[in-house]
Structure 1
Amino acid sequence: MHAPDAEYTRWIGRTETIDDTLAPAQADAAAATLDRDGAPFRPGQPLPPLWQWFYFHAPVPQHTLAADGHAPRGDFLPPVPQPRRMFAGARITVHHPLRLGEAARREGEIRDVTMKTGRSGSLAFVRVGYRYLQGGALCIEEEQDIVYRDPSPAGGATASVALPAPSSGVHTRLVHPDARLLFRFSALTFNAHRIHYDRDYARGEEGYPGLVVHGQLIAMLLLALAEDVAAPGARVVQSFAFRSERPVFDGAPLRLAAEQLGATVRLDARGPDGLVAQGATATFRVEPSRE
């Protein structure tokens, strides 16, 4: 086990609180971006799982943004020296859905900071916990893994292993993320990281072959597939966890796969090379019959 670097230990336990009113219009914009059918959202309706990412944005002034588009470090997030940042994964537990049109609060806390050295250079792992509350009740718990790394000529792709083709019991879906989708998703999440919308920057500065598809976007696409294949009566999301393995880029097909295992759905997303870009697991709660 690697102990947190002494210089950054003092960030562990640091907190951040953001209040927001969950405007239905933002959910409508998200639904349009994700091609989700249905009537416009109304106050009082439940916010779909993971859509808390479309709210609770810190109002970071434009002039303070770093060259890559991220907010400056050293306030809530620790000022680790590695310049490249990746949202590596998250674990979410849903106790109760957040309700649209109502005030809500997100409480954040730095839970761990660990420095390591890998094949690609030095790495910093930051674990952040979030609690989403409404009316004083805990609705959602979330833990995020953020990885900071040194620059890499290969764009930071990590080693992975090609897995066999899905069996007959696996449901698949092919999606084609493009620059328009990535731009709109960046806007919805108030994410100015330039690798998602500035092709020249993504190629010239960070060494990627194209625009990087957001890990959170892939997670939402996977959960949408899981909801479609979950057993009848067990389509209320109880928990969701994902881990990003390697980047995927705009203009290339992304194959989503889901395998139902009782109340759990195991998921993965693969780029055109057949390697796993993101793995995930969704667990559903069986709702009692109303008949």
Structure 2
Amino acid sequence: MTETVVQVKDLTKRIGQKTLVENITFNIHKGEILGFLGPNGAGKTTTMRMMLGLTSITKGEVIIGGHNIKTEKEHALEHVGGIVENPEMYKFLSGLDNLKHFQRMYKDVPDSRIDEVVEVVKLQDAIKNKVKTYSLGMRQRLGIAQALLHAPDVLILDEPTNGLDPSGIRELRDNLRELAEREGIAIFISSHLLSEIEMICDRVIIIQKGKLTDSQEVRETNTEKMMVAWETDNAQAVLQLLKENFSSAEAQLEKDRVVVGVRKEAIPDINARLVREGIKVYSIEPIRKSLEERFLELTGGNQTK
């Protein structure tokens, strides 16, 4: 089983009679990038602030690295790096001096670790320049370097692509995927850019009016069923062949195509059988709703964060 790094159980936040977040439960796993989506005011930032110990928890608990954020806050936060809203840096200092300043706040962070995180976020050429000369994308990467200094198990990032141009977004996306895949860091990321979330995340959870409404796998696995359309020269023959030889495949005729619900690993076997039977295959097209379509269905058409 995948190692669980963060457990959020029945997390609730109330202020007076108003409930901002209610009974939210989810886990984040080692090496996973989990996206957090929701309309404006849905409770995303409030949830992240509770996870980072920046605001009190009314009910429920957050367990990070086996430590409860309410009762063992210091030990829990030893496992966390976070950026909520914008990373704050001293603009009159160089990027390197900023990292040295943050280094002194942690226990036992060697100088070599600064070199490592600078290389991870690809700031080697600019690290000795003053932060005031950095682009927004460079400041975001410096913020991630700071969050990585103490070698956390999880990164919590609130809207990290805000204000970035397409080049900066791509750089950040590549950095985060590398961190998850090569370093095994769990990453929890909120964003209103649904296309970016779809490209970077393994899984998403959706919050609406303070409650979780859905959880979706973004990256398909070989064991998940998916909808695939075959365009051939003989749709009826395809239907019959699937019925006789691939009983687990759910097939139906749609215009001149055969649409099949099937595991990803079975697609090449089906196609090879069609070719052997002399059926001409013109195209194979996966059919799936985009993350944007699924999000808008669940949130009533609100496209904002």
Q: When the two structures are superposed, what TM-score results if normalisation uses the length of structure 1?
A: 0.22
Kindly indicate which of the two structures has a greater share of residues assigned to helix.
2
Q: When the two structures are superposed, what TM-score results if normalisation uses the length of structure 2?
A: 0.22
- Larger relative contact order, structure 1 or 2 (CA cutoff 8 Å, min sep 6): 2
